[in-house]
Structure 1
Amino acid sequence: MDGQVLPKVDMADPGARIASLLDAQKAGWAKDVTPDHATRDDRLKRLDRMVVDWQERFCAAISEDFGNRPAVVTTLTDIVPLRAAIRHARRHLKRWMRPRRVSLAWTGQPASAVILRQPLGVVGIVAPWNYPLNLMLSPLTGALAAGNRAMLKPSELAPAFSEALAKAVAETFTEDEVAVVTGGPEVATAFTSAPFDHLIFTGSTAVGRKVAEAAAKNLTPVTLELGGKSPAILDASVQFDKAVPRLVWGKLLNSGQTCVAPDYALVPRDRVQDFLAAVKAEVDRQYPGLPANPDYTSIISPRHFSRLTRLVEEARETGAEVVELAGPHDPDARVFSPVAVIGAPDETAVMSEEIFGPILPIVPYDMLEEAIAYINHRDRPLALYWFGEDKGAQERVLSGTIAGGVTVNDTILHLAQDDLPFGGVGASGYGAYHGEAGFLALSKEKPVLKQSRLSAVKLLYPPYGRFSDWMLKLLGRFG
């Protein structure tokens, strides 16, 4: 379909453009409050076609924003899971939309009741720069499946992608269906302060708190996916030849710039050196020749590169052992080669802040309960990983810790399953999406009771007397 390229929001009052778009989308929603299956499926089909048609341009734009990100990484992490999510939604949409009959207590008979799933209206989606396509359009998939309109705000750290997305969306949807708003922090502030019917934000915990505060002024419900320090427990029963390749892959995918990347590794104290040697060998196997390896993603900006450098230097200055796992860094190309840090104090930034880069702190432990306690004394993580062969130990970890999601004997892969809800807990966020969880998060489950003409409720109408007292005693006993 034809469409106009949306202008960038660079006016003195970015809220004016946002308010105008929001009014247009709410007006469009009012004309079709609960779109039928054909309308929703058509929007999902157009979204999928847009991703296919723009795939090469999206990959090129994302690589431009990073400095270098291989097309295979974007295809693996943004394109493939996104298209799978769209197909999943289309395949299950009729079932998700179907009204659900519920039973009534005998006191409600002979009435009937159903739960209707209706769209909320207009959904705002704010996505970060690390997986800019997937983390924007995966929530959009749930929004469109649920019958909503949507406004999208990509990160200002991904300007090339933002421009490509705005053009692609304008060619695919009308402004009152889906619209893109671009701009810097002032635009993001205006966007998150707008009275959406629901807001989805993916990003840091610090910014997430501000988003929640801004949305609260409008009583806008919010889904927050915030990341955090996701631990990987290497159990005493672990086999390093199986576990380490999977851990290294998850840690270094996108150079660690992943919200569910394993942030630190808890390793049995007597096996730390063997673990370190295995990690170093696996880094060299997966990414030989660093910093020149073209499969390795650059750090998104000079500021983030400097931040990673400071994390390592502070740890070194406080007595931690810093182990270079590959070649030197290349500041000009923003290539930060992998580093392990052993024995960093808990108060250092590398142990208290989400790393979001290829730095792997190693925390030795003696007993499994010690590792579990270490995790539970920190903010609840977005993800948790356990590696080992001991099923009893596995169950102790699963039942003894709280995390947004878990992968056992691998990393990240729980995120790619559309029937598993994705979301955080505590400081790592709240709410969930993916698959039916996303559909439900962006729907209103409206309870409807349909009264029968044979209803006996009139027996409780005033004036009250001895019969009313008898009826109330009966209801109290059997209701």
Structure 2
Amino acid sequence: MSTGAMAGAGAEAGGELGETVRELREAYGGGRTRSLAWRQAQLRGLLRLLKEKEAEAFQALHKDLGKHHAEAYRDEVGVLIKSANGALQQLGKWMAPDRVWVPLIAWPATAQVVPEPVGVVLIFSCWNFPLGLSLEPLIGAIAAGNAVALKPSELSPCTARFLADNIGNYMDASAVKVVNGGPEVGEQLMEHRWDKVLFTGSPRIARSVMAAAARHLTPVALELGGKCPCIFDAAAAGARDLQVSANRIIAGKWSPCAGQACIAIDYVLVEERFAPVLIKVLKSTLKRFFQDADHMARIVNQRHFERLSSLLKDRAVAPSILHGGSMDAKNLYIEPTILLNPPLDSAIMTEEIFGPLLPIITVKKIEDSIAFVKAMPKPLAIYAFTRDAALRRRVVEETSSGSVTFNDAVVQYAIDGLPFGGVGQSGFGQYHGRHSFEMFSHKKAVMKRGYLLELTLRYPPWDESKVTLMRYLYRFNYFAFVLAFLGLRR
């Protein structure tokens, strides 16, 4: 694949990136992206793309990551269809100004908050969900009325090519452009001025994006990741709870792209006495879920395969492997692997794993897991399986994370009403559903006053009577102020 392929303009990146930005600004400056009709047309075009090119999308995702088409539909295509339809249904409501209460002392006046597009935005997507993480924020950006440049990850080249070949045929090619290429193209894009940048990826690259954006004072939203913990409280779990929890832990660890997901479970905390039971159920369920190895995605490339294999080959870590551990470098496959109490200072416990390796860490009592989580950097998500209301309350109140999900994992991503985003090192900025619309909108304050009433106490020359009136003004409502005013006048 050429590192400079583009959709829409059909030009090569590098020398003509400036022209691409100019065309986007021209499209936005013309005003057509602001209309409800244009926004709806783009969303409908995206839905047609997902319907008519579904098979090609599945093929691209399989080539890039070995995703089974069922997983690809569940995690990417289906989620996008839901999001686009939701935006179409709610767009008129999202665009409507919000009336704001105005105190009677300002009468006659009206005030409202008017959402307006921020302008021309740049979206950097990631390779692990290359379709979903490209088009989910795009839905919000175009719903908000912006012109958009989308930079897919070069590590998922087939999906990047799929986007480049098709976006311009289904959407306004002068206002929505795909720019493909490697890191050098990303650097060149950041030399230009944007009205907002959304980056999904690693903290290392995020720092470079923020530094480049600072030159133009461009606002940035970052979707990063971290070590998402799972607290498993088995004390009140019956046999069915245990099995259902195991199903959901496996789905939250190995099913989303072989663990290559920012919200995937990174490690499990469980009481020492219950660890053998949990491990036994996890092992049996893994064998049942992944009898066919093709039902789990592959590691994205050789570099990441070697990174993950090095975690297991660490001499201090190897003895902790209880299940799995086999690797196939030719096919970029790593068997689902369970480890028990690897050293806490080892790389597998200090770095985000982003792969099919699951450490299980034991604690004396489950309440100790809260202190463990608090000692780590703030994660994108915390998961806790428990029937204990007091423990749930402590998790919410005493920990900090982008989200908290009880008795399941990863499914919160699909709920449009919940904002998706991190806190601290796991990122900042939130999207999904209306939150996507708001991420790419500016809330403009608009106030209009009439001429019927004019209170002179706001103007010099000053005297103590005006100060007295202002004290009432700021302390009491309009009617108390009028009564005080009339009393002083008498």
Q: Under a length normalisation based on structure 1, what TM-score does the superposition of the two structures give? A: 0.93
What letter corresponds to residue 197 of structure 2 in structure 1?
Answer: L
Instruction: Write the distance in 2 (CA, Å) between the matches of 1:306 and 1:6.
Output: 36
Alpha-carbon offset, residue 5 of structure 1: 6.3
1:200-246 Cα offsets, whole Å, 9 max, x none, are 11111222222222212211111111011000100133342121111
1:469–1:244 CA distance, 2 compared to 1 (3 A): closer
Which of 450, 453, 465 lines up with 1:452 in the alignment? 450
* Equivalent pair of 1:257/1:357 in contact (CA under 8 Å): yes
**For residue 57 of structure 2, what is the aligned residue in structure 1?**
58
**Secondary structure at 2:25 match in 1:** helix
In 2, Cα distance between equivalents of 1:24 and 1:43 = 17
Give 1:455 shift.
Answer: 3.6
The answer to whether the Cα contact below 8 Å between 1:5 and 1:167 also exists between their aligned partners in 2 is no
The equivalences for 1:209-288 within 5 A come to 209-235=207-233, 236-238=235-237, 239-253=241-255, 254-288=257-291
Deviation at 1:87, TM superposition (A): 0.5
- Aligned match of 1:106: 104
Matches within 5 A, 1:152-171: 152-171=150-169
- Deviating more after overlay: 466-475 vs 223-232: 466-475
| Distance in 1 (alpha carbons) for counterparts of 2:222 and 2:102 | 35
Name 1:86's counterpart in structure 2: 84
1: CA distance between counterparts of 2:159 and 2:474?
63
Question: Contact 1:225–1:428 at 8 Å: present in 2 too?
Answer: yes
Distance 2:236 2:213 in 1: 46
> Match for 2:311: what amino acid?
L
Whole-Å Cα distance in 2 between the matches of residues 271 and 29 of structure 1? 59
Residue 317 (1) aligns with residue 316 (2): yes
Q: Partner of 2:27 in structure 1?
A: 28
Preserved CA contact (<8 Å) 1:58 1:161: yes
Q: Unmatched 5+ residue regions in structure 2?
A: 1-6, 478-490
Aligned to 2:352: 354
Q: Which residue of 2 aligns with 1:188?
A: 186
458-467 or 71-80, larger mean C-alpha shift: 458-467
Partner in structure 1 of residue 11 of structure 2: 7
Residue equivalent to 1:297? 297
1:131-210 alignment runs, 5 A limit: 131-210=129-208
Q: In the aligned structure 2, how far is the partner of 1:284 from the partner of 1:263?
A: 20
Instruction: Provide the C-alpha distance between the structure 1 equivalents of 2:366 and 2:454, rounded to a whole number of angstroms.
Output: 61
Residue 437 of structure 1 corresponds to which residue in structure 2?
A: 435
Q: Give 1:467 shift.
A: 5.5
Matched AA of 2:44: K
Name the residue aligned to 1:116. Answer: 114
1:426 is aligned, of 424, 427, 438, to 424
Instruction: Answer yes or no: is the 8 Å Cα contact 2:125–2:133 preserved in 1.
Output: yes
What is the CA-CA distance between 1:193 and the residue it aligns to?
Answer: 4.0
2:95 to 94, 97, 100: 97
**How many residues matched?**
466
Tell me by how many angstroms 1:318 deviates. Answer: 5.1
Partner of 1:399: 397
CA distance in 2, matches of 1:224, 1:466: 52
For the structure 1 residues 462 and 150, does the alpha-carbon distance in structure 2 shift closer, same or farther, using more than 3 Å as the test? same
Kindly indicate whether the alpha-carbon contact (under 8 Å) linking 2:316 and 2:343 is maintained by their aligned counterparts in 1. Answer: no
Using the TM superposition, give the Cα deviation of residue 466 of structure 1 relative to its aligned residue in structure 2, in angstroms. Answer: 5.7
Report the counterpart of residue 307 of structure 1 in structure 2.
Answer: 307
Flag the 1:366–1:468 CA change in 2: closer, same or farther, 3 A.
same
Q: How far off its partner does 1:98 sit?
A: 0.7
Q: Is the 8 A contact 1:63 1:70 kept in 2?
A: yes
> What's the CA shift string for 1:242-280, capped at 9, x where partnerless?
211110122111111111110000011111122111111
Q: Which runs of 5+ in 1 are unaligned?
A: none
Q: Distance in 2 between matches of 1:477 and 1:74?
A: 59
Does the 8 A contact of 1:382 with 1:403 survive in 2? yes
Q: Residues 202 and 226 of structure 1 are in contact (CA less than 8 Å); yes or no, is this contact kept in structure 2?
A: yes
For the residue of structure 1 that corresponds to 2:334, the secondary structure is coil
Deviation of 1:105 (Å): 2.3
**CA shift at 1:42, angstroms?**
1.1
Number of the residue aligned with 1:379: 377
The whole-number CA distance in structure 1 between the counterparts of 2:264 and 2:188 is 30
**Normalization by structure 2: what TM-score?**
0.91
> Contact between 1:85 and 1:435, CA under 8 Å: does it hold in 2?
yes
Between the aligned residues of both structures, percent identity stands at 34
Q: C-alpha displacement at 1:34, in angstroms?
A: 6.6
* CA contact 1:25–1:175 (8 Å) conserved in 2: no
Cα drift, residue 119 of structure 1: 0.6
How far residue 173 of structure 1 moved from its aligned partner, in angstroms, is 2.7
Q: Given that residues 8 and 167 in structure 2 are in contact (C-alpha distance below 8 angstroms), is that contact kept between their aligned partners in structure 1?
A: no
User: For the residues of structure 2 that align with 1:63 and 1:7, how far apart are their CA atoms?
Assistant: 27
Counterpart contact for 1:48–1:86, Cα < 8 Å: yes
User: Could you list the per-position Cα deviations for residues 288-309 of structure 1 after superposition, in whole angstroms to 9, with x for gaps in the alignment?
Assistant: 15xxx22121111011110000
Deviation at residue 171 of structure 1 after TM alignment: 1.1
